[in-house]
Structure formats: C-alpha cells, structure tokens
Structure 1
C-alpha cells in the first residue's frame, strides 16, 4: 500500500504517496491527533470522546464512527470496499493507528534524535550534526499546533518540546566540537533567552564565546546565569558550570578548540545539486580573482550569488582554503572578527588585526557570503586583511558593493531564457523523476521562467511545487507568488521569496524605503524624472542607493538612464505602498500625455509617439487603477489624449475596450471630455472595419465638440465622418468633405487642413476623378510637409501609389512603396506599415514577382492578426482587390506555400525581403 505520513510538529497534515489528503474539520482532525499521540497504542472510544469533545456529553458513538470512517477513506483511498482497514484499525472497543503502516514526523524526529545522541557519545560529531539538522527541520511550529487549548496533547506536547530542546542543544554541542563556535554565538545567546534555566545552554554559550576569543564575555555569561538562577529559583549553578568557569579563568587546554577539528583544506560545502546555467561565468570570476584581490558579486536576492561564488571558488588553487564565512545569520557586526577567527581556527583575541597576524603571508581565498547587512564591518575587515596580508584574496557576495579601492564588482544577472528553462527541468526532475513535459507544458515552463524574471531561487521554488501542483496552477498562482513559491523543507533565509526580498527591505533607510514603495507602482521601466514625479520630490540619492543595493536595476546603454524593478521585487514594493503612490502615478501618466499631445501631428511626432507607445504598460496600469477607483473622468481625459497613439500603433481591440469602460463610468461627464473619446472610438472602429459605428461615433464627437467649443475635435470629426460615411455607402459625402475643408481652414490649424485635403482627395479618387484627386492630394502633402504631419504625408503617398498602380505604373509604384516602408519602419508606425506591406504585396505581384507578393501578404495577415487589425477590413474595396491579384498570380498550392512562409517573417525580415527583392530578379 502507499506510504502514509502524518505531521503533528506544527499544523497537522497528512500525505498518501506524497500527495496531501484532507483531514476534515477540527473535531475530526482531533480524533486522529488523539490516536497519533497514543504512539501506536489503542485508545478506547470513551477516551476519544472525552479527549475530543471534553464537556460535551451529547455526542454519540455514531459521530465518532463516522469520523473514523472518513479518516480511513482519506488515509487509504484505494482500499476496496469491505476490505479491513490497514492504517486506522479497530481494536477492542476503540481504535489504534498502526505504527508500522504510518510515518509520523514526531516519531521520525525521536528516532533521529536518539541516533544523533548515540553518535555524539561516540564523538562522531559530523554524523550527529547531520542527523540533528535533519531532525529539527521536521518542526514547522509547535507540536499539535492545531489544538492549543485542548488537554489531550499536553503531555505529548511537553515531551516533544523537551526532546526538541535537548536535540537543539545536542546540535550546538556537535557544531562546537566541529569548530563552529563563532557562528553559534548568536544562536546560543537567543537560545539562553528562550530557556534561561537551561544550565547546559549557558555552558555551551560560554564555551562558544571563549573559543571565539571572547574570554571576558564568556565569564560575563556565567555571571548572568548565576544571577538568574539565584534570583528566580534560589539556586547556585551546578558543578558543570562551576568547572567551566574555573577552566576559563585558568585558560585550561581542555576547553581550547581542538587543533584537528578544522582541516586546512578549506570548508566549502559539497553541492547537493548540479550547477545549472551560467556557462563560462565561474571561469570569468576565476580570471578576475587571478588579477584582482577583491571581487564582489552583486545582484538582487535569489539571483544565485552564493552558488556562483562557491562554484567559482572551487576552481581556485590556493595553498589554504577556500574558506567560506557565512554572514547571513550574523546579526551583530562586532561578531564578524570572531566569525572569521572561528572559521580560520585563529585562537586568542578575535580581531581582524589578530586574524591578519596569523594569516601572515599565507595564500588564502576567503569567501565572505551575504554581507550586505554588515556592510561597514565587512568593508573594514576586508580592508584590514587585504592591506596586511599580501596572499589573501576575497570573494564577497553582497547586494551592494563594498566600496573599497581596487574592488571589482561583478553583477550577477537573472538567467537568460534558455538557462532558466534548463534549471527548471533539472530541479523538477528531482521532484517528479518520471515526468517529461510535452510541447504545451514546455511552453508553460518558458513562460513561467520569464514571468519569474529568470531568478534562480524563484525558478527552483517553482520547480519544487511540481510535486503537488500542475504547471497551470503554478503559472496562475504567480500573482500570489510569495505564497505559492514556498519551500517549507528549507529552513534557511531563502525559504521563501518574501523573506528574500524582505531581507533587503529591512536594510533600507526610512527615506529609501518610502521611495522603494513608490517605485513599485511603475508597470515597466522608468527614468529619473518619472521617479521624482511619483515620489513628489527629487530622489536621486535614494534611487542611487536602491540601485547599489540591487533592489532597482539600471538599464545599461539607455539615455537618459532607465531603471526597472524585477517583477518579484515590484510585487513586494506594491504590497507596502499606500494609495498616494497610485494617485501620483496616475497624475504622472496624465501629465506625460498632456505634454506630448501638442506635438503628435508635428515635426517631432515620431519621438513623442514612440515615447507614449513605450509607456503603454503605464497607461494600462493608470486606466485600470482609475477604473478601480471609479474615476471615469480620469479615464476619459487620458483616453482623449492617447487615441492618436492607439490609432497609429494599432491598439484597436484594447482601445475600444477601455473606451467602453470609460464611457460607462463617465456617462455623466461634460462634452469637453466626451468629444475626444468619441473621436477616438470613431478612428478605432474605422480601423476595425466597422464603418457604421465609426460614423456614429464621429457624429457624437462633432456634437460634443460644438457643445464644448472644441473646434479641433468638431472639425476633425466632420472631416473623418465624411470618409467613414462614404466607406459605408452613403451619398453626398464629397460636398460634406468640402465643407469640412472650409471649416478646417477657418480653424487656423494647418494639420487639420492637411487631413481635410487628404480625405477630399480620397473621396475624389473614389468617384473616379483621378486627376483632381491627385491635385488635392499633392496639396495635402505640401501642407503636411510644412506643418510636419507625417501621417498625412504617408497616407497621401499611399493614395497616389494606388492611382499609379491603377494607371499601370507598377515599377514606379513598387519603388515608392519600398521607400515608404523604410520610412514607416523608422517611425515605428504599425497600422500604416501593415497597409503598406499589404499594398506592396500587390505591387510585387503586378511587376512579375508573385512569390514575394504572397510572402508579404502572409506577413501582413499574421502581424495584423496579432493586434486585431486587417487592411482588408479597413479598406474593403482596394485592399481586397489587391489581395485577389496576388492570389491570382500563383497556382493555389504555390500561393499557400509562400503565404505560410510569410507568416513567419519578423518586421525586420519583411523590410529585408522588400528591399532586396525589389532589386533582384523576379521569384516565380
């Protein structure tokens, strides 16, 4: 049968074949706990009723039998109906939990502690330390923690707590024998505070202090226990403590560290898992250490600094070492010299000068791991050792540099995609050895590693969850990643992502912490100006500190410099931010859009459009935040400023969705807010090919513009409303277009005049008046060139190319189209780029190269589908006819072949194909 495990050293839990099983409500769990506490002995039904229900005399045996039946189904899910129970059996008038069929963590702990005690008596200290570490890792809280007020587990709880204390002190004794005296001082000090009457604990503390070179502190500890015992219990210390005090005063040899407890070959731990990822990095760090005496690995928590340092240190060939000095658990900076002395076996006064004297000219590599919380002490220790010992080299890991002359800082970055994927598979294999992910699961793994920022700790924690969660569950739980990615089997500082980030958070100054919380509001990268805006003050000093402490990453090569928080760190920061951060972010987003608005149809439109498009994640966050606040006016105002960016970059479906939400929230808003939003809706509906909705929205925009006195909105709506109406088949649109042109000229905005001339030219061409259309379009191009309205220039060129294509000037049209494509590529435009690619497909086909035409048609279709935009929907007459021309130029199977190949082309591939094949012989 499958292995059954029950855990009571903390919250009660059970697993069958490694999978958690439900244990029901508090009473049902208590029934099982009573049987566990009996340690394999039978418990009568009356006793169970008394222990679980205590003073409730109305409970019946039937209730108990029902609970036992439910527990049996949970613990033996595959037991055939009618077969006798094998785990929770009936015995006499009660029940018994079979010890030979159930693994109880309390019994496992007891066995391990007993084995360790035997090893300790036999002076097998390493074995004892390993067994005790394993045993104490089983504790997840107080024994029988689910039943704090119940009487039945009190005796067993007391027994287990006494065993736990004894095991903890045995572990300290074993580690002291192994020479870990300096590293244990902090733990022992805490232990004596928790157990002030444990003479053995005080003895171990005094011994650890003495062996760390702190004789005075050791004697002070012995005085303190004497006072505590006398004051609280009226007792004197026992003979063991008195003997230790005498030995310390006499500096007796028997209590000195054993000369053979530390081999001189280093103390790097043997790795428990294969080093995955970072090919070549240990070699690079090895090379840096060969040239420089101080190398510091920096980076955010969980990025893998310690593992990389250990792998790099193993490559070094030093006469002494490498020596690992673990600083994470060392809270008092004054204990750092003692920690160094303890690891290196230096006796006497524990000072950095004393350590330097002993090291002399020895060839030593010291690995100072996780020293960011003791930065000043680590800096001074490294300064002293490097200055006085020419053979010492230091490899440090810290979330910020030490800041010493000659220090080489190596930033450990998150894993690239492939290495993150490799790490996940390697760690998952240790949890689910027989599992091989299929293609869809492999894609989920890659997405998961990307969403986890490539942080090795996060990836390893996610892989560990594969034992109990599916990949879909892990991915869907990333919004609550601090809970999902938890490793209860690892009691260390990196047990959870939350603790990892919290470690850095606690070391920030109040000002740094405030700025850190505010910066978490950004959805993507940001610059110094944006940071100051959301923090409502200059923040250079705090931002510099956060970069130095690896909580914020600076993006190299950006000008102005941009900064970013890893997603995991960002979620932590947001969890500590208040509502003011969101309000400041919304205000900044709006101010950015307002500052850009006057330039979006001018000579500098390209740079402003690119800047606003890059800020799209911030727009989404601001709109979402405003929606949550019920602030429809804010949404309307921001959408009115962004709609031209959305139009140029093809943000169609998403834009229409935001518009619908804003109009629902802000339906009572004034015309000055509604006009620009209806104008935005008309443009996006046009791109979506819904000309009826586009016309209706344009009419509403014109009415709102007239009501609010916003002439630009009113006239723009009249201009484009005529076009949308014409595309929908309405008559008399040409005259309306002429009227719109007159209104545009009277408004005094040259960009409006350029748009009006462009639309008039389009409508003239649609009526077959190509010559007059060309005149109007040429005039539109001149006005657009004068005022810098690049979109109109491009659209005019497109219309003129359509006229030339119809007149048979295919090669000239092709040349113009390739030039336009290059220009649009440089501007970052999306919708016009797609229209141009689609048009070029027909131009290539008509100039004798239908294979390139099919390639480009496939590319336009694929890229358009990604944003919900189709040139054939927006331009149903011309674009559909052009697509048909491409299809007709090739046999069906040949067209399908090249069309499918075109769907795989990137945007740069499309440009390369168009420019190279324009000058190459036709591909038939």
Structure 2
C-alpha cells in the first residue's frame, strides 16, 4: 500500500509554497511547519508536496494524522508519532537515512507533540518532520511556512471547478465572473470557504449566495455546511466548525479580545500584498477594547497570540504594524460577542463609534489630498461597522436561548449527554453501536445548533432534568485506549 494517499480533489496554485518546501527539504531543514487559518489548505499543500517527493523516490514518506485525537490525550499522541517512526526502514529504491514524517493537524496537541518532535529529531539525524498547524510548534530551529489565501485568479478558478461539480457552469461572461469573484473575496479567498460557497449553488444562484455574504447581522455563512457526508472531517463541514475549532484552542482573554475586535471593520490584504485594507492600530484596540478584564498592558501580547493562532492577521512595515480580522472571522467573533452579553456588545460598539468620531473631528482640518480621502473612507467604514454591531440579531437572544436544546434530535441529545459526561467519541460510538465518523458528525452538529465553540461547552446546555444522568454516565466513563494511526 502506498505511504501517501492519493488526492481526493483538485489542487490549485501554491507553486511558490511548493518551491519553498522543496528548497527547505533539499537544504536539510529538520522541522518545517505549515501554519495558517483553518481551511486555508495546509493539509492539501503538504499532501501534494510529499506526493511529489514520493514519486521522486528521494525520501521515505510517512503520514500521521492527529486531527481526531483529543487535546488531553498525551499518551495517544505519543503512540501515533512513535508508531509512525518505528516503521522507518530501508526500501530497495530509497535512501534509508532520508525520511519525511508528516504530522498533520498539531495545533491542539502542541504540549504533547512539541517535546516528542525534539526527541525524534535528536534521535534520527536523517529525519525531516513536516507539520501542519494553526500555530507554530515552538522548536528552536523550526522553519515556518505561512500558507496564504489563494490569489483572486486562483480563487476564481477553484470556485468555477467546484461549481461545475454541483451542476452550475459559470461561463466566460464578465458579469457572472464578477459575481463569482466577489463571492471569493467575501470568503477571504479561503479554499475551504470557496468550496462551501460553491456547494450552496445546489440550492440557489451565485447572486443569492453573494447576498448571503452580507458581512452584517444577517450574514448566513455560519449556517453553511459542506453538504458532503463522506470525505470531510467534522471540523471542516462548515464555516462555523472551522472557526470554532480555532476559537476553542484560545485562552479566555484571547477569546474575549477576539470577540471585542469584531466591532472593527473587517480587513483584507490588498492584491498587491503591500498594504492591508483597513488595518487596526494598537492605540485604537486599547482605546476600544481595554478595561479591567483586559488591561491595556496585556493587549499587545494578546494580539500577538491571536496572530500566532491564525485568527488575526498582521501587516508589518519597516516602521509600524497593524492588525485586521478577515470577514469570516469577524462575523464569527461578532456572533460570539452578541451571545456572550448583548448589553456589553452595545457598550463596546458605542466606545468604538465614539473613538472614530473623535478622530474625524480632530482630523478634518487636513482633508485635502486623495490620501486624506482614503483615510476618511476608512474611518467612515469603522463607524458603519460600529452601527452594524449595534444592530439586533435576526432572532433576539432571550427568545433564542431556551430553544437551543430543543433543536437537537433525540439521537443528538443522547450523544450530548455522553459528551457532557466526558466520554470520548470513540467510546460513545461503541456504546451507541455506531461509527466514530457518525458520532464526530453528531458532535459537530450539536456544537453548531447550540452555537458553541468547543465540545467542553456542551455541559452548560444540559437541561436540569438530565443532570443526574450526566453525573451517572460520568462515573461510568471508560478509560481511554490508545489509538494508532499509521499510513503505510
């Protein structure tokens, strides 16, 4: 059996990143980590690269997928990594002392995987580790390869390919291509989000898909799903699932700051790559977001952590920096902000609006040049963003909260009880005579319906009448057994 699995769908662009990976491998790099936000294509990129390495027969290639492992299962993570390494051996057409180990999806296991990587690299001089993660591993000689969004041309190519899969052909018509290009821009040129947008064409034309991407309170992207029941991981079945996975890995203050940043207008890198569209400066973040819970002195560090976790983007110049949330993250964070505390969200919006109104009042004397007009437009967009945040959600929170549990099916409620009791998905599957993939999908659906970021939050939504059952199942919770993932 092949050491590297065949691709399951199209591969678009990424030649710069492929060349970079090839140069690092040829130069003897020991740890190369591909970092970037969820859905950006890290796994697909490293898969394409190692397939080329495998075809060249220059290295043995092994693949360990860590996505399904739970974040606290240190022993299982060790078993997976060690099982992949222990299979290293000579092949008749390979150099026995040159091997590549891919560790896919490390971000939730950094505490377990980081020390193991250091030990493996010290013990195996001919080993190169390719890791994918939403943040760096933290090894001293780690090479970090940031996986960027697709270019506008590549995004449009991918969207047209995916649209054709669902039976919607986008012709070479300037107006229809313009709508498709705007859809790609509104989903941040993120490959997974482009695929999700194309899947919507099963139900409605591109113009209606674009209207769902309003960026405002009526934006519908968080309710999108992939539509596919096979070939997709639970955390990649929808925009909400992708972002909730990353959000759940953040600390409490990181989560709170990300939510508060949603009052700022969404930004994006301009096509020339030289400047951000609507960047946020540190002074503005402190003025709007800092308080007793988030002291001003901690804001810069928290911004750096959110950037490390690929939830916040940063633009650096030789003399300054600014940050921005891409639109999908902003929509997600704003939704979380409203559900956390609507009154606090309105107060934060008022602080944001007042800050930029004061900037307009202080800066009006210099409104002469085109650059000044660009600045005015940016400030105006921030004020419009504050107004948008203060608008009510389509369904008011007080009327919505009590009904969330009732939206679950009976099977989903049963799974939720086991999850709240601390049962791993594999044990739930055995108990319910189901498959792990089915339980993974059910847990993802539960999180989406309850509007929560992580599995750990399910317990907060368990009705009082089921609390005793949760306690009972918690006492009966089975001990985890090691699960080994090996790609031979």
TM over 0.5: yes
Equivalent residues in 2 for 1:76-91 (5 A)? none
Structure 2: how far apart are the matches of 1:465 and 1:606? 40
**CA separation of 1:454 and 1:487: change in aligned 2, threshold 3 A:** same
Residues 1:283 and 2:25 are matched in the alignment: no
Equivalent residues in 2 for 1:334-349 (5 A)? 334-344=75-85, 346=87
Secondary structure of 1:269's match?
coil
**CA separation of 1:627 and 1:381: change in aligned 2, threshold 3 A:** closer
Secondary structure of 2:63's match?
strand
Q: 2:256 pairs with 502, 514, 522, which one?
A: 514
Given that 2:360 and 2:379 are in contact with CA atoms closer than 8 Å, whether structure 1 keeps it comes out as: no
Structure 2: how far apart are the matches of 1:603 and 1:309? 49
Q: 1:586 pairs with 350, 362, 369, which one?
A: 350
Partner of 2:60: 321
Equivalent residues in 2 for 1:237-276 (5 A)? 267-276=3-12
Structure 1: how far apart are the matches of 2:209 and 2:368? 45
Structure 1 residue 304, shift from structure 2 partner: 0.7
Equivalent residues in 2 for 1:289-300 (5 A)? 289-291=25-27, 292-300=29-37
Given that 2:262 and 2:334 are in contact with CA atoms closer than 8 Å, whether structure 1 keeps it comes out as: yes
Residues 1:532 and 2:286 are matched in the alignment: yes
Q: After superposition, give the CA deviation of every residue in 1:52-77 in whole Å (9 maximum; x if it has no partner).
A: xxxxxxxxxxxxxxxxxxxxxxxxxx
Secondary structure of 1:315's match?
helix
Equivalent residues in 2 for 1:622-641 (5 A)? 622-624=386-388
Secondary structure of 2:8's match?
coil
Q: 2:112 pairs with 352, 371, 377, which one?
A: 377
Equivalent residues in 2 for 1:663-674 (5 A)? none
Given that 2:188 and 2:327 are in contact with CA atoms closer than 8 Å, whether structure 1 keeps it comes out as: yes
Q: 2:304 pairs with 540, 544, 551, which one?
A: 544
Partner of 1:25: none
Partner of 1:141: none
**CA separation of 1:444 and 1:380: change in aligned 2, threshold 3 A:** same
Structure 1: how far apart are the matches of 2:20 and 2:310? 21
Structure 1: how far apart are the matches of 2:318 and 2:368? 20
Structure 2: how far apart are the matches of 1:562 and 1:301? 22
Structure 1: how far apart are the matches of 2:170 and 2:390? 45
**CA separation of 1:319 and 1:284: change in aligned 2, threshold 3 A:** closer
Equivalent residues in 2 for 1:783-802 (5 A)? none
Partner of 2:227: 487
Given that 1:296 and 1:407 are in contact with CA atoms closer than 8 Å, whether structure 2 keeps it comes out as: yes
Structure 2: how far apart are the matches of 1:593 and 1:312? 50
Structure 2: how far apart are the matches of 1:468 and 1:502? 25
Partner of 1:617: 381
Secondary structure of 2:365's match?
coil
Q: 1:396 pairs with 121, 131, 149, which one?
A: 131
Structure 1 residue 609, shift from structure 2 partner: 6.5
Partner of 1:443: 178
Given that 1:600 and 1:609 are in contact with CA atoms closer than 8 Å, whether structure 2 keeps it comes out as: no
Structure 1 residue 461, shift from structure 2 partner: 1.5
Structure 2: how far apart are the matches of 1:625 and 1:342? 49
Structure 1 residue 285, shift from structure 2 partner: 1.4
Structure 1 residue 564, shift from structure 2 partner: 1.0
Given that 1:361 and 1:389 are in contact with CA atoms closer than 8 Å, whether structure 2 keeps it comes out as: no
Q: After superposition, give the CA deviation of every residue in 1:566-610 in whole Å (9 maximum; x if it has no partner).
A: 111111111110332342243233234325534532699998776
**Which structure: greater helix fraction?**
1
Given that 2:78 and 2:113 are in contact with CA atoms closer than 8 Å, whether structure 1 keeps it comes out as: no
**CA separation of 1:326 and 1:386: change in aligned 2, threshold 3 A:** same
**CA separation of 1:482 and 1:437: change in aligned 2, threshold 3 A:** farther
Scaled by the length of structure 1, the TM-score of the pair is 0.36
Structure 2: how far apart are the matches of 1:424 and 1:603? 41
Partner of 2:428: none
Secondary structure of 1:303's match?
coil
Scaled by the length of structure 2, the TM-score of the pair is 0.67
Structure 2: how far apart are the matches of 1:608 and 1:596? 11
Partner of 1:307: 44
Choose 1 or 2 for highest CA Rg. Answer: 1
Q: 2:322 pairs with 543, 557, 562, which one?
A: 562
What runs of 5+ residues in structure 2 fail to find an aligned partner? 89-94, 214-218, 267-278, 394-488
Q: After superposition, give the CA deviation of every residue in 1:601-627 in whole Å (9 maximum; x if it has no partner).
A: 269999877644322211112345567
- If asked which structure has higher relative contact order (CA below 8 Å, sep 6+), I would say 2
Secondary structure of 1:546's match?
helix
Partner of 1:575: 335
Q: After superposition, give the CA deviation of every residue in 1:848-883 in whole Å (9 maximum; x if it has no partner).
A: xxxxxxxxxxxxxxxxxxxxxxxxxxxxxxxxxxxx
Given that 1:444 and 1:475 are in contact with CA atoms closer than 8 Å, whether structure 2 keeps it comes out as: yes
Structure 1 residue 557, shift from structure 2 partner: 2.2
Equivalent residues in 2 for 1:9-158 (5 A)? none
Q: After superposition, give the CA deviation of every residue in 1:184-204 in whole Å (9 maximum; x if it has no partner).
A: xxxxxxxxxxxxxxxxxxxxx
Structure 2: how far apart are the matches of 1:548 and 1:532? 19
Secondary structure of 1:402's match?
coil
**CA separation of 1:494 and 1:602: change in aligned 2, threshold 3 A:** closer
- Cα root mean square deviation, aligned: 2.8
